Chain A
Amino acid sequence: MQLTRASAKSGIASGYSNPVASFAAGLPRRLLGLVIPALTLVAWQVTAMYATIGHAFLPSPAEVLTGWYMWAFGPQSSINWTSGTFFWFCFLSIRRVLLGFLIGSSIGLVVGIVVGWYRLASELLDPMIQATRPIPMTAWLPFATLVFGVQEPAAIFLIAMGCFFPVALNAASGASQTPRLLVRAALMLGTHPHRILLKVVIPSAMPAIVTGVRLALGVAWVLVIVAEILAVRGGLGYAIWGAYQFVRMDLIIAAILTLAVLGWSSDRLLVALADRLLAWQSGLVGQQ
């Protein structure tokens, strides 16, 4: 939209159309975003044919596809994880992200709203939150593994911990900025003081909460890979590390691309949900 509009304008101003701009203007907008990935694919194919990267040969796109096909649809065996485990591994990673994200975000939402709204809660909890927050999440991993063992809860604990902070901090900041006028409006219309949190503070903090939740989802995908490399069996992070040990560059790339697809689609899902929650903001915020 932006590009097409700009090119139309420059065409009128200069008296002739820039050929690159008019080509871009002719393409449907969605396809425009595929230009760079397509060029990357070509460059990758060429590089794979003529060059090596570092110590390893770069597999061609076709080789990656073949490796991935075996990983996804090959016969399953108990000694070889590179065959027939792809969907199971995806499921494991998604489950860990989902559980950790839901647990961490929910706790973060409740704690954040309460800390942002009630002064007593803020005085009680905020110093602890501020002191815990600078600890890198990865530093918790050995602790989590010793407490929970090389098991699911270790990964979920780590992811939940990582999701807690962005949601809590953003929710607290949103809640603390609730307009007093709207609180008064709700009270004079008969809202019980106990319900102000639900009826005014949370809706008013929703844009900030959405920001926190989106950040949390990104953190969750980072931490699931860390946890799967170090603390739990199975999953895409486990596959990446296993592929590294057998120098299977094709599987490493297949796993990375899978993570891109999963991360991107989960964010899209979240944005679609957020757009529904924040529909009231359309036309109220941002550029034309």
Chain B
Amino acid sequence: MNGVRSTPARGEIRFVALSKTYTGIGQRASVVALHNFTIEIAPGQFVAIVGPSGCGKTTLLNIVAGFERQTSGHVVVDGKPVERPGADRGVVFQDYALFPWLNVLDNVSYGLLERGRSRPVAHSMAREWLQQVGLQQVAETFPHELSGGMKQRVALVRVLANESHILLMDEPFASVDALTRIVLQRELLVLWEKSLSTILFVTHSVDEAIFLADRVVIMSGQPGTVAATTRIDLPRPRSATSAAFNRYRRWAFERLQAFERPQPAVAVGSPN
């Protein structure tokens, strides 16, 4: 399927020995959230990061987004080190983060207006994007009147409409029900193939990572670092029940078990 996509010119992310330590205050000890995290993501690639809770996945995303500063190392996006948030890196948050005082249309137009588009242009672009996810009917309603799945669609087209080359998604489908999640995953793939953007997708679900991504990165926790990475060489749409899919799952679960157990010698590598 990657043959269909032309390789986009922008959207490359390089993590170079990225480390982040939260300095302890008073009684609280310092926490090393990320240690020596190094990977390269090609423009247009869909990379999923899987890891246990507290492994520094969100910290990683916050640093790429420019919300937090690393302690050492670099994140380089299209040749430039990340220093602050910017519209080239759109974020889809787990809790949507839509502006409650703006209706759906104004939420989607927000970035375009902030970046200097005229109101009619921004609104017509926003309407086009809403149409793509079937939300043109609710353009005038406020976010709190929408279901979780609809909110997340709005949050997604809000960054796509804003012409972000990179989408940073922090467990975006964790707050919606299982059925909606499947629909949203499919929609995301459709939109991604059209948009040529790079996606860095953080999740704690192995299945979701394998279903969606070109490449899955397994993170170990405390300190967070790259434990293993693999390409998912399966054609899309992928079947979560196929034998090939299951091989990837087994591979991923074995890697995850390795550092979740305190005494790895007992379990690791033993085939069942």
Contact = CB atoms under 8 A, between A and B. Distances in A.
Q: Do A and B bind each other?
A: yes
Interface of A: 181-182, 184-193, 195, 199-200, 203-204, 206, 280-281, 283-284
Contacts of B103: 280
A190 B162 contact: yes
B114 interface: yes
A157 B159 CA distance: 48
Contact of B101 (A189, A193, A203): A203
A280 B142 contact: yes
A184 B92 CA distance: 11
Nearest to A189: B111
A190 B90 CA distance: 9
Contact of B65 (A184, A186, A195, A204): A184
Interface in B151-185: 158-159, 162
Interface of B: 65-67, 84-87, 89-91, 93, 95, 97-103, 110-111, 114-115, 142, 144-145, 158-159, 162
A184 B114 contact: no
Contacts of A191: 114
Contacts, number: 70
A189 B66 CA distance: 12
A199 to B, nearest CB: 7
21 contacts: A182-B97, A185-B97, A185-B98, A185-B99, A186-B114, A187-B84, A188-B65, A188-B67, A188-B86, A188-B91, A188-B159, A189-B158, A189-B159, A190-B86, A190-B114, A190-B162, A204-B101, A206-B101, A280-B144, A281-B100, A283-B145
A185 B162 contact: no
Contacts of A281: 100
Contacts of B65: 184, 188
Contacts of B100: 280-281, 284
Contacts of A186: 99, 110, 114
A49 B164 CA distance: 80
B197 to A, nearest CB: 14
Contacts of A204: 101
A181 B90 contact: no
Contacts of B95: 181
A281 B143 CA distance: 10
B199 to A, nearest CB: 15
B99 A188 contact: no
Nearest to A200: B99
A184 B91 contact: yes
A190 B144 contact: no
Contact of A283 (B99, B101, B144, B162): B144
Nearest to B143: A280
Question: 8 tightest A-B contacts by CB?
Answer: A190-B87, A189-B111, A187-B85, A185-B97, A203-B101, A280-B101, A190-B115, A181-B97
